[in-house]
Amino acid sequence: MKKLFRSGTVVMVIAVIFFGCVSSKTVAQGPVAISVSYQDFYDDLAPFGTWIDYPAYGHVWHPAMDGNFRPYLTNGYWDYSTEGWMWMSNYSWGWAPFHYGRWIYDDLYGWLWIPGYEWSPAWVTWGTFDDFYAWAPLMPEVNVGIQFGYWRPAALYWNVCGRGHIYDRDIFNVVEKRDVVMNDINRINIIDNFSTTRLHNQYYSKGPDINEVERFTSRRIQPASIREINNSAVARREENETQVYRPTVTNPQPREFRRIDNNNVGPVT
């Protein structure tokens, strides 16, 4: 185990309980009192990528993926839960980077994950224009509150698909090409549908209205209740219930997030 404590200085870490191939799952009937630390994040994500000491945010994780990887798009899909639209990742490590912390894009490394301690169905901003839905990973220090509408993700952060396809299981194959996003980014209207997390009452976006999605997809979508489990197996929905591993992260991040780049701040028009 590589320790993150050097010369008395705490360095940022991340953890993911190793989940690989789990032959059987122990499921609890109610909330499961499980906690992890940033050291756990570090140890468990290390086999699937590289930890980088990044100047702005400390230790961040770079997944070992090709250049086509995009968070909240590659190898997963959206499902609707009683807590909002939830990203269902097919990666064995997906329980952490898509439900805790934030993502940034670096021109040299590509997508990087900055760890966080609060769980949500997905840390994204949702938007819409014409007959499209759009979503983008949230950067650090973006507070999904009253001022949320004044923050604009850069064009490369956005994913766009036709409203009728938002519930597709192969959503990676139905998103629009990048030139659509580049041409229409200023027309995206932020969806004003927020809720708060359990631990520190942080705002997150619940995403598109379910009645609207049902109308565009011509499908009846039953919200899935969340059932907590005590291992990090890939989240799966069974009828009207989704089994989710969402432990409490015991310690706050050793290094505070810095403010987002001013280039990503501006009014939504």
In a domain, 268, yes or no: no
In a domain, 76, yes or no: yes
pLDDT tens for the chain, 269 residues long, are 444 433 333 333 333 322 333 333 333 334 556 788 888 889 889 999 999 999 989 999 999 999 999 999 999 999 999 999 999 999 999 999 999 999 999 999 999 999 998 999 999 999 999 999 999 999 987 766 545 556 678 999 999 999 999 999 999 999 999 887 888 888 999 998 999 998 888 899 999 999 999 999 999 999 999 988 877 766 777 888 998 989 988 865 554 433 333 333 333 33
In a domain, 36, yes or no: yes
In a domain, 178, yes or no: yes
In a domain, 164, yes or no: yes
Give the count of domains, the chain: 1
In a domain, 2, yes or no: no
What's the token pair of residue 101?
Answer: 């912390």
Q: 90 lies in which domain range?
A: 10-261
In a domain, 3, yes or no: no
E strand residue ranges, 156-265? 159-162, 189-190, 194-196, 203-205, 225-228, 236-238, 241-244, 248-249
Q: Model-level pTM? A: 0.81
Question: What is the β-pairing status of strands 203-205 and 102-106?
Answer: unpaired
In a domain, 266, yes or no: no
